[in-house]
Structure 1
Amino acid sequence: MNRALHINRRQLLASSLATVATAATAKPLLALSANDRMKVAFIGVGGRGGANLSAISASGAVDVVGLCDVDSRFVDHAATRFSGAKKFADFRKLYDAIGNEIDAVVVSTTEHTHAYATMPALQLGKHVYCEKPLAYNVYETRRIAEAAADAGVVTQMGTQIHASANFRRVVELIQSGAIGDVSEAHVWVSRAWGYQSQADATKHRDRLFVNNRPQGAMKPPAHLDWDLWLGPAPKRPFHEVYFPGPNWYRWWDFGNGTMSDLGSHWNDLPFWALKLDAPQSVESFGLPPHPEIAPASMTAVYEYGQRGDLPPVTLTWYQGTHKPELWTQNAIPRWDSGVLFVGSKGMLLSDYGKHVLLPESDFADFERPEPFIADSPGHHQEWLLACRGEGETGSPFASYAGPLTEANHLGNVAYRVGKKIIWNRDTMECVGCPEAEPFLRREPRAGWSLG
């Protein structure tokens, strides 16, 4: 890796941020008036992509001009609703054909192609909405964050829960000092998909997920362009254990398991409330890493230094069967998934839709602060309004989604190298740990490039 290149890119990003503040608050290059209709292309229109297509097109101020998916069934179905849109299987051809005609792009592909579908839009100066996680690895995430800062367009990562009223009230409580100085945060999710152990796997029908790879090859269905689905990932034969989703995200070549998926939602809350950025160190625990498949259960411990007036804090992530000690000891409500903030004056426990101050008896007469974070018009609507110069997005690539995604990826990096990593965000390397390099970045397959 060219370290000087990354130092220069980091300096460029810092300079860009100083100029434009953030990608969310900058005046859009493609600012639209209230009466203008946005011409939007959608890359990935099945599953999550279909939901994004429905939500964004429902605004009434959007013209769907491009539909792209490697699965022709999804494109053909979407085209029955948007007959005027041009259809594509390859997003590279979409940009070649209509890149200069569009105002914005919505990317809802698989994780390993997010950066490759997003980068051309940023280079063309188009607004972008991209599903989480922002990119497949740390290097791709940094490249996208830098490109977003350079472009000055409006961006939003698909962390829909960020727009919830519950998250806003929790952030207000933490930042107003309701539980004092926060020294610990614990995040756990109950989902246990991925590699567990051979013994556990024999209880289930999906035993293929604990083999290195399924043996043999299967013929891809006629509606799927398998080579395009692979995109920048290494070539491998088609098999039904990868497609359709969500099976693919358990495999390291295509995704990063629960950490990058649910971490985008659950780590979002402490990241926002505690004003986190790059961790100083990360250490992960679990079964020995599988060469092909992300873990079902693991723990990752992040150490963050002082941030302005905020004291250092330890953030611990648990997935699958792993849980915080306070949870296992019944010292807090045993919610299936949750975020626990531990402060000098008490604790706060939250999930997506509710939260509670603990011990409850200590906060019986507590008076909440007046709300100071405005309610969101909706996660998609934030992006649409910001594209017209109205308001900001909650998860812009350069200043928020990028650092959050990088931190989540670093949890997996520490897990895969099997030791504590010391992170240097400026040179984008794990200090004294060259074996981490393949997990921070990879060379794309021939024919694919971030430019």
Structure 2
Amino acid sequence: MTNQSGTSDNNISRRRFMGHAAAMAAFTVVPRRVLGGPRHVAPSEKLNIAGIGVGGRGGDNLRGVESEKIVALCDVDWQSAAGAFRRYPDARRYRDFREMLDKEGDAIDAVVISTPDHVHAVASMAAIKKSKHVYCEKPLTRTVHEARALTLAARQAKVATQMGNQGMAFEGNRLIKEWLWDGAIGDVREVHVWSDRPTHQGKLPLWWAQGIERPTDTPAVPEHLDWDLWLGPAPYRPYHPAYVPFRWRGWWDFGSGGLGDMGIHNLAPVFSALKLGAPTSVCASSTAVYEETLPLASTVHYEFPARGDMPAVTIHWTDGGLIAARPPELEDSREMPREDGLIFVGDKGKMLVTGWGGHSPRLIPEAKMKAYRQPPKSLPRSIGHYEEWIKACKEGTPAESSFDFAGPMTEAVLLGTVCVRAGGGKLLWDSRAMKITNRPEANNHLHYPYRQPWTL
């Protein structure tokens, strides 16, 4: 890319760059064209943002960032995208994000990606390679390999990133860390985490189908949907309404079930508070495993090594309506959260967290909570999930769920789905080599061959 003088921005020395910026700042806010491209946006300027996948959840995410300029919209289903088209009538419209990124060029500073999971990685990587800031819905990727690749690429490109697990901005997440680091329940060696997905409150009907095989009929593709682009890098299969819209989450080729959906939300405060990295092993069991879809319910156990002065810890995950055993410390008059919850087990007590994403923590029993003298608030409070990312794009301050946090967590979480898909049992994980060491055949589930011409 070249600047206005026609010389390459890469040839401007750091000393010359800083001196020029300081001189300009004495008179006015420095516009991004002077600072060298779309990654340099002054705090007083609005970002030019493009949406990739703008129906449903994508529309919600765009509303979260519409304090900036929404300049381009991309969706393979223009019927689903109609609401976003009406809300942002001046935004240019595309079906293929690759065409959008090529044509828009420097007119885009950042992208918001809200496609089905199997497109997250290829869309994010395409944007990162063009030096765009990236907000991507959770789970960050569909495969373990993709998560590692995105983490490294974003770090090298120095773009601002955020994964869409909004709970990381909750007050509860700060309280969990402050209380645990204060020693409220002592050393934590065990955590129970659950979600009822794909059921609702542990009952039918399902949010999306799991435990089924591929349909055999082949209805016509709706005129408003580009099925080939919807499939993206996934293996080809005929269109069927069993996959779209949103029903894709339970199919192995497109999603990762309750663990990839709510597991990312509910495990995030655990990873953050306990400073977790990669697990050393994963062990899973489930209802019947199907070739095409995730099982109806599963249990996954993650083993993490000691970190600094924190001891080794075991994380127990359950989904499909299964929940952790009721702790004896919980009063009979209080209900266990059925939809989403956590229990931190310390050597001096327990903490129950109700709601998704670490919403409402309490020490149990209630008498212990009332007697606990809470420490001063020592952690910065969030300015808002979307606002964090916008600020990161403009000022370089890291967002709470940047890919440096979200990537390694996604890797670890998706190892659980790998273990389930491999039939359960125990997998030993070598994170440095990015390899399962005791069952080589399970490594086949860390990634898959993309359909041509898609690449990462």
**1:317 matched to which residue of 2?**
317
**2:298 matched to which residue of 1?**
298
**1:17 matched to which residue of 2?**
none
Structure 1, unaligned stretches of length 5 or more?
1-27
Q: Deviations over 1:147-169 (max 9, x none)?
A: 01101111000000110111211
Q: Deviations over 1:347-387 (max 9, x none)?
A: 00112332210233334321001111122111001101111
Q: Deviations over 1:72-98 (max 9, x none)?
A: 124444233323321100111111111
**1:255 matched to which residue of 2?**
255
**1:407 matched to which residue of 2?**
412
Q: Distance in 2 between matches of 1:241 and 1:108?
A: 20
Q: Distance in 2 between matches of 1:343 and 1:192?
A: 30
Letter in 1 for 2:243: Y
Does 2:350 align with 1:347? yes
Letter in 2 for 1:240: P
Does 332-341 or 163-172 show the bigger shift? Answer: 332-341
Does 2:140 align with 1:147? no
Pick aligned residue for 2:97 from 91, 94, 109 = 91
Letter in 2 for 1:220: V
Letter in 2 for 1:232: P
Does 168-177 or 298-307 show the bigger shift? Answer: 168-177
**2:8 matched to which residue of 1?**
none
**2:275 matched to which residue of 1?**
275
Pick aligned residue for 2:59 from 50, 64, 81 = 50
Q: Distance in 1 between matches of 2:384 and 2:145?
A: 30
Q: Distance in 2 between matches of 1:362 and 1:237?
A: 57
**2:240 matched to which residue of 1?**
239
Does 2:338 align with 1:338? no
Does 2:117 align with 1:108? no
Structure 2, unaligned stretches of length 5 or more?
1-36
Contact 2:251 2:293 in 1 (8 A): yes
**1:78 matched to which residue of 2?**
84
Give me the identity figure in percent. Answer: 41
Contact 1:327 1:333 in 2 (8 A): no
Does 399-408 or 28-37 show the bigger shift? Answer: 28-37
Shift of 1:35: 2.1
Mark the structure with the bigger radius of gyration: 2
**1:14 matched to which residue of 2?**
none
> CA 1:29–1:77 in 2, change beyond 3 Å: closer, same or farther?
closer
Q: Distance in 2 between matches of 1:102 and 1:366?
A: 50
Letter in 1 for 2:59: G
Q: Distance in 2 between matches of 1:74 and 1:320?
A: 28
Q: How many residues align?
A: 412
Pick aligned residue for 1:385 from 391, 399, 403 = 391
Q: Distance in 2 between matches of 1:340 and 1:264?
A: 16
**1:10 matched to which residue of 2?**
none
Letter in 2 for 1:230: L
**1:66 matched to which residue of 2?**
72
**2:285 matched to which residue of 1?**
285
Q: Distance in 1 between matches of 2:318 and 2:253?
A: 23
Q: Distance in 2 between matches of 1:208 and 1:119?
A: 29
Contact 1:185 1:339 in 2 (8 A): yes
Contact 2:297 2:322 in 1 (8 A): yes
> CA 1:358–1:204 in 2, change beyond 3 Å: closer, same or farther?
closer
TM-score by length of 2: 0.86
Q: Deviations over 1:125-144 (max 9, x none)?
A: 11110000001100111111
**1:226 matched to which residue of 2?**
227
Q: Distance in 2 between matches of 1:172 and 1:413?
A: 33
**2:430 matched to which residue of 1?**
424
Q: Distance in 2 between matches of 1:143 and 1:431?
A: 20
Shift of 1:222: 1.1
Does 2:45 align with 1:36? yes
Contact 2:213 2:291 in 1 (8 A): yes
